Amino acid sequence: MNETLPFRSLVKLVLIAIGLMCILAYVIFQARYLISGPQISLVENPDLRQNERQIFLSGATFNISHLWLNDRPIYTDGQGNFKEALILENGYTVATLRAEDRYGRETRIIKPFVYTPASFE
């Protein structure tokens, strides 16, 4: 009977360790968005040279609370998709997409454009 006591204690200890590992794995799985931070991806990557004054930047965001295009707030739909017009100045224009999550972490996409009217090519 003395030999079964250490075996039972060992089984209990192993079951407790497996339970704690499952809880830890679940917590890490649920915190994956917190760990990864805000994300922005452009659906179409517009060319550097543009012949049209107005272009559209469209893409998807994940894990964000705020989104800006050149420090102007823009909005996403329920799935995190956005489509926003950008008016290009003559010559060189820089578009900055900036996203922030609820913890203050941010990410940026900086995209330069050169507007040359079709008649000047």
* pLDDT exceeds cutoff 80 at 120: no
Are the C-beta atoms of 30 and 92 separated by less than 8 Å?
no
pTM, 2 dp: 0.71
pLDDT at 71: 93
Domain ranges of the chain: 4-30, 38-120
pLDDT in tens, 5-51: 688 888 899 999 999 999 999 998 888 777 888 999 999 888 889 88
pLDDT in tens, 52-83: 899 999 999 999 999 999 999 999 999 999 99
On whether the 38-120 domain is CATH 3.30.70.360, my answer is: no
Q: Which residue has the higher pLDDT, 121 or 79?
A: 79
**What is the spatial distance between Cα 56 and Cα 17, in angstroms, rounded to a whole number?**
53
